[in-house]
Amino acid sequence: MTDTYVCVDLETTGLDPKRDKIIEIGAVRVEQGEAVEEWETFVNPGQKLPERIVELTGIHDGELSKARPIREILPEFLTFVGEDVLLGHGVLFDFSFLKKAAVNEKLSFERQGIDTLKIARKYLKELESRSLGALCRHYGISHSAHRALSDARATAALYQKLAQEFYEKDIEAGEKSLFLPKQLLYRAKRDTPLTVAQKEQLYKLLDRHKLIVDYEVESLTRSEASRKIDQILAECGR
């Protein structure tokens, strides 16, 4: 069983790493089964938060406006993680956002991971839900849902509970153990920044139609800028 890893959790603006952004990162370093270090930060996504995310997380735009963008934060996070295994509840979700961010900055990010959600789905089929919140209630783990560091702490504690109860059964079954790290795979394509022509056109359209937008023009990618321009043209004309 792996007892040294970094448990990571993200809060994001949505579920799609190709379009949505990271807004909070929380991580807990565990060595020999003991939490020894924590790391957390807000991330400025360069856009207004959807109301559903504000309601879900309690995070507000004012908090994020003071935070740094992911391009400045990512190197610090990668230093904290080092070469350690990642642990997460649905770890591929978190990995996909981090991998996308790394690819955008021309950084390498390949990791092995352990997924507590997969373990719970295998051994706790009788539970109505295997969400992190439901499993924390099942095991009596203290947890404040939908905040990155709290979720990371809870997931690390959950892994220990699952291991105590099911690790020996997992090994005895003669199968490839879900408690051991597996290579995390997510293919990410690098975003390119908006072009000078796109930026000029977008600023002209915003000024011409007196539009107030909830995103930072300078932070848009080429594809995002194209969608914004098309939307304005469709709704307001040239």
2, 180 Cβ separation under 8 angstroms: yes
65, 31 Cβ separation under 8 angstroms: no
Which of 60, 89, 138, 146 is the catalytic position? 146
Determine the Cα angle at 135 with ends 177 and 184, to 5°.
40
Determine the distance from the C-alpha atom of residue 212 to the mean position of all C-alpha atoms in its chain, rounded to a whole number.
29
Q: What is the DSSP letter of 77?
A: H
Residue 7: its H or E element:
strand 5-12
Backbone angles phi, psi at 30, to 5 degrees: -115, 130
Is position 146 annotated as part of the catalytic site? yes
The residues annotated with a catalytic role in the active site are: 146
